[in-house]
Amino acid sequence: MTLERRQKLIIGLGLVAATLAAYEPIRHNGFVSYDDPQYITENANIKTGITWQSLGRSFTEPHYFMWHPLTTLSHKLDWRLFGPNPLGHHLVNVMFHIVNALLLFWILTNITGTTWPSAFVAAVFALHPLQVESVAWASERKTVLSGLFWFLTIAVYIWFTKRPSLKRYIFLFLVYGLCIMTKPVVVTLPLVLILLDYWPLERAGKVSSGRLVAEKIPLLILSAILSVITFAAQHKGGAVVALGKISLGDRIGNMFTSYISYIGETIWPTELAVIYPYRSTSFSDASTVGCIILFVLMLFLSIYIGRQRKYLAVGWLWYIGILVPVIGLIQSGSQAMANRYMYIPILGLLIIVAWGVKDLISNKRNLQIVAAISAGAVLTTALILTRTQVRYWQDSLTLFEHTLRVTENNQIAENSYGCALFDLGRENEAILHLNKALKINPLSKDTRCNLGKVFLKEGKLNEAIACFNEVAKQDENHAEAHYNLGVAFGRQKRYDEAIQHFNKVLKIDPHYPDAYKKIGLALYESGRNDEAIALFNGILQKNEGSAEAHYNLAVALVRQKKFDEAIEHLAKALKIDPNYPDARNRMGLAMLATDRFDEAIENFKKALQTNTRQAEVYANLGSTYHQLGEYEQAISNWTRAVELDPNNVSALNNLAWTLATVNDASLQDANKAIGLARRACELTKDEKAEQLDTLAAAYAAAGRFEEAVKTAKQAIDAAKAEGKEDQISEIQSHMELYKNGQRYIH
């Protein structure tokens, strides 16, 4: 191995080690609420895995209003391999980023013949904090994957230019074809190839201009097709902002301001945020005018000086050209700019710096030493800042708390922070931040919808319905608003209205999570079980690979006590998605209903392997062990269920009943049983006979027979109100024991 190859190998290994060190904190990171649910964790199309049907949908249907089939397939494969475990998804992103840095280093050394400037550019690309958003955000797989095919396309183009031929060009066309299936932003790549023809490939003086352009025309046609597909998909999804909302003048002002701001963030990457709110960029504003003047001056100088130092012109045009699709002239979303948009454009600025310094220190030993020390300091600082930035992506709360700290009047961050608080059960704080978001933008549909979800959780159904109706009035195709209206109406037992809204959801988005399930539940509750079964059978005729449809059909069959058929469909659901905890839990219940206790326990335990915080599964395990007479195990599992969900009435009641009535002095705990039973009665507003009967038994176990008799009488009255005649005689028999100073023993 030559000295040069050994040197490149050491640099490559250093790139890998440094990048792994920079992104090491990612192993502690989870998914975040910003796009990850829609893109991955709650996307039914992703969770079905890779089947022939889902493969076809990846190429024919947009993925969250964007057409990028290779990215979609990569998410499907990740879900198949790692399921809901975020670590695997994140590590794949890091792997792609490392490969991209290595490819970049190889490309630059190959076409420029210089090692150290190429190494510096590749290292800053790998370690710069601006890149964290593209790597640490699971939903941004499209960025790192598009980077991979971007560099592969350039590598193939270099191979083509060395000995042009039709076969090599066809291969180039195919690789670029794969590239455009990863992310729409790659549409500018054919123009970048023209820049590379100018420098460093130096083809511009050797090959006619007509031929250089003609080589790119088929690639530009692919770019044009992708641009049309992307615009149509995003316009349909409401992501494209109309000129009426953001004027052309504001867009132009924001464009120039963003170009300069990105340079500032590249030089001084602090206070980076996941979302930058759109700002006022009036042409009368001095800062906007200053950015325009600075941009024009830099463009002029880069072209003027670039006649002698071609890397300067190429670097600047690389930077501004690649950003054109996302610079805001066609505004997608409400952000002013985004760090992820700099993943590839940053290379233009780095090329200017690296080769500019190379020219400056050429044949100057002292300056070369200074440059080497400075480069080391820059890379060390970048590594430290990147490690810090990666930690901000640990979870939604940390991410948006940081974003609010480094930005002002950030409606999206306020909304997202409110949602993170809501997910943690901190409803009052959530309402505070959601109202702040609405104060910034009273017309924010997502924020008002999220406020409605808080009201929904608190049981304030009328307030929730008012919020969702307001959103639906603003946007009749807002699927989430219609979905939550369906949930709210279902809780009010207005099932026909609920079904109407769920059908509206599916018309808007056929893959909306849980919509079919909710229709089925509404049909069950309204006594239309046969319609529910017909609905899910119809879905399975179209998509046999839908685990959700198999699961929902099984639930309907259980209602008709067709347990064997239900078990068959649950088995199919689990074959499609082995990490489907609800299906595994339901399988356990079906086994329990058919007295297959060992298999029931096995399925409940497997459900807990997927998610150890499932209170319902622990409650079901408790019931299974209770039926087997293993009361200690039953008590242990019900206790865990109550710890996870203090409002689980069934677990509270069963645990209290067993502690009060079990015929084993070592397991009895009358005082604890009273506390649990009281909580269950509070949750059911002292209106349910079963919970009142348990409280009476607990009082009797504690020797408080007068209270036991009084509570038993309440239980009898409740049973009469519920029409449960068979329960009345049972409670009366218990009461007779209490009157005689005896407790009830099970």
The pLDDT tens digits for 286-301 are: 889 999 999 999 999 9
What is the pLDDT averaged over residues 400-410?
Answer: 96
* Average pLDDT score over residue span 307-323: 96
DSSP assignment of 25-69 equals GGGG----SSSHIIIIIT-HHHHT-S-HHHHHHHHHS-SSS---H
**Dist CA 320 CA 259 (whole Å):** 7
pLDDT at 170: 97
Q: Domain boundaries in the chain?
A: 3-391, 650-746
pLDDT(35) > 60:
yes
Average pLDDT of the chain is 91
From the number of C-beta atoms within 10 Å of its C-beta (0-12, 13-18, 19+), residue 683 rates as: middle
How many Cα neighbours within 13 Å face the side chain of 303?
7
- What pLDDT was estimated at residue 492? 93
Mean pLDDT of 637-665: 92
pTM of structure: 0.73
- Whether the ω angle into residue 200 lies within 30 degrees of 0, i.e. cis, is yes
Look at domain 650-746 and name its CATH class.
mainly alpha
**What DSSP designation does 535 have?**
H
Report, as an integer, the average pLDDT of 419-423: 93
> What single string gives the DSSP state of each residue in 193-241?
HHHHHHTTS--TTTS-HHHHHHHHHHHHHHHHHHHHHHHHHHHHTT-BP
Highest mean pLDDT among 343-352, 599-608, 645-654: 343-352
Mean pLDDT of 681-705: 93
**What pLDDT is recorded for position 331?**
67
3-state secondary structure of 163: coil
Under a CB-based contact definition with an 8 Å cutoff, are residues 306 and 312 in contact?
Answer: yes
Instruction: Report whether pLDDT(547) > 90.
Output: no
Which residues, other chains included, contact 666 with Cβ-Cβ below 8 Å and sequence gap of 6+?
A: none
Q: Strand, coil or helix: what is 705?
A: helix
**Could you please report the per-residue DSSP string of 430-469?**
HHHHHHHHHHH-TT-HHHHHHHHHHHHHTT-HHHHHHHHH
Q: At what angle do helices 670-683 and 689-701 cross, to 10 degrees?
A: 160
With CA atoms as reference, report the closest residue to 339 among 272, 408, 239: 272
Percent of all residues in the chain with a pLDDT value above 90, rounded to a whole number: 68
Using CA atoms, how far apart are residues 744 and 746, in angstroms rounded to an integer? 7
- Of 562, 564, 583, 563, nearest to 572 by C-alpha is 583
In sequence order, the 6+-apart residues with CB closer than 8 A to the CB of 276 are 335, 336, 337, 338, 407, 410
Whether 612 has a pLDDT exceeding 80, the answer reads no
- Residue 591 clears pLDDT 70, i.e. is over it: yes
pLDDT above 70 for 48: yes
What's the pLDDT tens digit per position in 103-155? 999 999 999 999 999 999 999 999 999 999 999 999 999 999 999 999 999 99
Using the predicted structure, report yes or no on whether residue 690 has a pLDDT greater than 70.
Answer: yes
Q: Return the amino acid letter for 541.
A: Q
Instruction: Please indicate whether residue 86 or residue 52 has the higher confidence score (pLDDT).
Output: 86
Closest CA to 523 of 552, 483, 488, 561: 552
333 and 246 Cβ atoms separated by less than 8 Å: no
Helix axes 515-525, 495-508, angle to 10 degrees: 160
What backbone torsions phi and psi does residue 200 show, to the nearest 5 degrees? -100, 0
Give pLDDT tens digits for 456-514.
999 999 999 999 999 999 999 999 999 999 999 999 999 999 999 999 998 888 877 67
Q: What is d(CA 301, CA 183) in angstroms, rounded to the nearest whole number?
A: 32
Lowest mean pLDDT among 104-108, 150-154, 157-161, 333-337: 333-337
pLDDT score for 231: 66
Q: Choose the weakest-confidence range: 32-41, 244-253, 380-389, 618-627.
A: 244-253
Confidence at residue 243, expressed as pLDDT on a 0 to 100 scale: 52
Within 8 A by CB and 6+ apart from 239, the residues are 65, 332, 333
Helices (H), 628-742: 631-644, 649-661, 670-683, 689-701, 705-722, 725-739
Residue 486's contacts (CB-CB under 8 Å, 6 or more residues apart) are 497, 498, 499, 500, 501, 502, 505, 515, 518, 522
CA distances 440 to 295, 407, 414, 452, 647, Å, are 31, 13, 9, 18, 36
Q: Which tokens in the block code for residue 579?
A: 């990490």
Under a CB-based contact definition with an 8 Å cutoff, are residues 659 and 669 in contact? yes
Quote the pLDDT of residue 57: 80
pLDDT at residue 281 is higher than 80:
no
Q: How confident is the model at residue 249 (pLDDT cuts 50, 70, 90)?
A: confident
Question: Rounded CA gap, 30 and 194, in Å?
Answer: 41
